[in-house]
């Protein structure tokens, strides 16, 4: 899922292509996108054939594709985009309402940049897309970062701190659990988000940490988001992490823009959910 972004993203108004068989869905996505990105040009179409014609007519900065299209599979369309020599690299995000049932059971491969679970709502989708085409330079939040490689930890920590995040780095799950225990004793969570490698040198893995956070501490995805970094491209193993409660995965080697897009998105969604719960 590594990404290399078009230079158009940093300059001209972004062009977004929304491919979905439902006219209502296309209109909803376009409406919230225009609210979040007033300068964006949002173009919608209902079939893969229409998308082919639009793609042949010019480059886009971002494409959303439904898994099920009237005339083809959404991943087939993604493959067509990737194989088009005239199309510069464009982030392709699959927007699906049945992520667990279908998407995570198959290999996304190199054609799809990312996925978005439609159940989070179209407002969240707009923020997600904005994170790609207009990423924030600065952010606020405490990151509990679990990584046992000193070299990787130094590089990643610099990325996070450059964007204004406060990083609490530990080298093992045991150290992370100790930090969470101390915070819980004070009536706090201990972090706004957890970023952990799945493979660690201690007795416990990132998967074990994820299980403890969801089961023992009882922190849901909104209360304490968890991003898991993994070099394992096996979709079965990735699906297991997502079913265990990971908010999202970040494939290694880490690409800065993709990492920050995912992390900042999870922070925004978590903050929104907490504010909603406090207001209820």
Q: Mind giving me the DSSP string for 132-194? A: HHS--S----EEEEE---HHHHHHHHHHHHHTT-EEEEESSHHHHHHHHHHHHHTT--S-SEE
Q: 33-42, 127-136, 161-170, 174-183: lowest mean pLDDT where?
A: 127-136
* All structural domains of the chain: 7-133 (3.40.50.2300), 142-279 (3.40.50.2300)
Side-chain-side CA neighbours of 243 within 13 Å: the count stands at: 12
Q: 40-54, 82-96, 121-135, 195-209: lowest mean pLDDT where?
A: 82-96
Question: Rounded to an integer, what distance in angstroms lies between the CA atom of residue 235 and that of residue 212?
Answer: 23
Confidence of residue 1 (pLDDT cuts 50, 70, 90): very low
CA angle 24, 134, 266 (to 5 degrees): 75
Q: Please check whether residue 144 is in contact with residue 225, taking contact to mean a CB–CB distance below 8 angstroms.
A: no
Question: Taking all residues of the chain, what is their mean pLDDT, rounded to a whole number?
Answer: 83
Confidence of residue 9 (pLDDT cuts 50, 70, 90): very low
Among 107-116, 140-149, 244-253, 259-268, the range of highest mean pLDDT: 140-149
pLDDT (tens digit, 9 = 90+) per residue, 210-256? 999 999 999 988 889 999 999 887 777 887 888 888 888 888 888 88
Average pLDDT estimate for 78-100:
72
């Amino acid at each position: 899922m590594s990404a290399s972004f078009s230079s158009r993203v940093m300059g001209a108004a972004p062009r977004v292509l929304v491919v979905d068989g439902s006219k209502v869905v296309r209109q909803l996505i376009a409406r919230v996108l225009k609210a979040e990105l007033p300068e964006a040009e949002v173009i919608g179409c209902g079939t893969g054939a229409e998308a082919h014609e639009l793609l042949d007519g010019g480059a886009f900065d971002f494409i959303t594709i439904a898994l099920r299209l009237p005339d083809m599979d959404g991943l087939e369309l993604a493959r067509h985009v990737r194989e088009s020599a005239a199309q510069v690299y464009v982030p392709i995000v699959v927007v699906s309402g049945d992520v667990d049932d279908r998407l995570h059971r198959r290999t996304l491969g190199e054609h799809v940049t990312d996925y978005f679970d439609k159940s989070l709502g179209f407002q969240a989708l707009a923020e997600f897309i904005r994170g790609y085409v207009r990423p924030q330079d600065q952010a606020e939040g405490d990151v509990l970062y679990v990584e046992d490689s000193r070299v990787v930890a130094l590089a990643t920590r610099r990325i996070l701190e450059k964007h204004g995040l406060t990083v609490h780095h530990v080298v093992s799950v045991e150290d992370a659990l100790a930090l969470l225990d101390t915070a819980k004793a004070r009536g706090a969570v201990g972090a706004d988000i957890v970023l952990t490698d799945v493979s660690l040198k201690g007795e416990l893995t990132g998967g074990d940490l994820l299980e403890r956070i969801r089961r023992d501490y009882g922190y849901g995805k909104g209360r304490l988001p968890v991003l898991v970094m993994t070099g394992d491209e096996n979709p079965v193993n990735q699906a297991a992490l997502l079913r265990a409660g990971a908010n999202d995965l970040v494939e290694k080697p880490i690409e800065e823009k993709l990492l920050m897009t995912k992390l900042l998105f999870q922070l925004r969604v978590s903050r929104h959910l907490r504010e909603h719960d406090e207001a209820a």
